[in-house]
């Protein structure tokens, strides 16, 4: 549910046609179904190709609208892919940070610990 709170409410519809505000307002209803979908996708190891696509839209920044340098590219991605990414980030980042800070290396299923940890 934390990931739904991070979504911007004032955004336009994403490529999948859903508004981010819908996910924010229905977060308690959608948590269970989204968890099932995400678990299934992660167990299979792939995501729908629509979730990997993004629409690049030029947004006017300042000054004259006729000058192309006054535009900033914004990518619009699916709301569900943003939620999945944020959940993966919340889960993986603290673990990866711990391993990096303690010089622990993972090679496949083998955990290599620094020499100072060995007994």
Residue 36: pLDDT band by 50, 70, 90 thresholds?
very high
Residue-wise burial string across 93-102, b where 16 or more C-beta atoms lie within 10 A, e elsewhere: eeeeeeeeee
User: What's the chain's length in residues?
Assistant: 119
Residue 119: pLDDT band by 50, 70, 90 thresholds?
very low
Contacts of 7 (CB under 8 A, 6+ apart): 20, 21, 23, 24, 79, 82, 83
- Tokens representing 39 are 């678990």
According to DSSP, residue 7 is labeled S
* Spans of all domains in the chain: 2-94
pLDDT, mean over the chain: 76
What does pTM read for this prediction?
A: 0.63
């Amino acid at each position: 549910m934390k990931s739904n709170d991070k979504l911007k409410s004032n955004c336009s519809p994403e490529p999948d046609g859903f508004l981010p505000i819908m996910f924010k307002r229905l977060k308690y209803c959608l948590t269970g179904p989204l968890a099932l979908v995400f678990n299934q996708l992660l167990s299979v190891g792939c995501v729908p190709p629509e979730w990997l696509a993004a629409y690049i839209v030029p947004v006017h920044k300042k000054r004259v609208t006729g000058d192309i340098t006054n535009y900033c590219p914004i990518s619009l991605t699916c709301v569900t892919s943003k939620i999945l990414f944020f959940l993966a980030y919340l889960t993986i980042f603290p673990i990866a940070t711990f391993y990096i800070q303690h010089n622990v290396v993972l090679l496949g299923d083998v955990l290599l610990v620094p020499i100072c940890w060995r007994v």
